[in-house]
Amino acid sequence: MELDKFGTASDLQELLAVRDSIDELVQRGAPSDAMVPRAELRDQGDGYELTVELPGVTQENLEIAVQGSEVIIAGIREPETDGELVFSERPRGPFQRTLTLPSNVSPEGAQARLASGLLTLYLPKS
């Protein structure tokens, strides 16, 4: 019985080098410590409801701007100071997220609510 040879050591080294290159590209895409708030947009007919996850962000550290079809949400998540931090996967520091809506909205009549780490915006269509 003859065995088929599926690869050599040099083939394996080349494959590992390609994997390492892909890993490096993925890691360079976005800093792992950057806060990128997740968002969800719903069309309510006469306006849009935008919900953004902002755990640990206070109203005082949050700014919202609306212009045309763009919504800009910026702020800072301050580090918690109680107790010694042993482990964390939650990013801290400044952040900014720009979302483009399907159509223009009017800043007049817009409503915002921040509760339990969720920012909910109602943005009436222009």
**Tens of pLDDT, residues 51-105:** 999 998 999 999 999 989 999 999 998 887 888 888 888 888 888 999 999 999 9
d(CA 123, CA 115): 18
Q: Residue 103: give the domain boundaries.
A: 39-124
pLDDT above 70: residue 106:
yes
Q: Report the side by side order of strands in the sheet with 39-43.
A: 39-43, 47-53, 118-124, 111-115
Q: Do the domain assignments include residue 91?
A: yes
- Asked, for residue 8, whether it belongs to a domain, the answer is no
pLDDT in tens, 28-53: 555 556 788 999 999 999 999 999 99
Tokens of 22: 């892909």
Q: What is the pLDDT, as a whole number, of residue 119?
A: 97
Q: Is residue 22 part of a domain?
A: no
Closest CA to 56 of 33, 40, 80, 38: 80
- Looking at the domain assignment, is residue 116 inside a domain? yes
Classify residue 2: in a domain, yes or no.
no
Q: Count of domains in the chain?
A: 1
pLDDT at 10 over 70: no
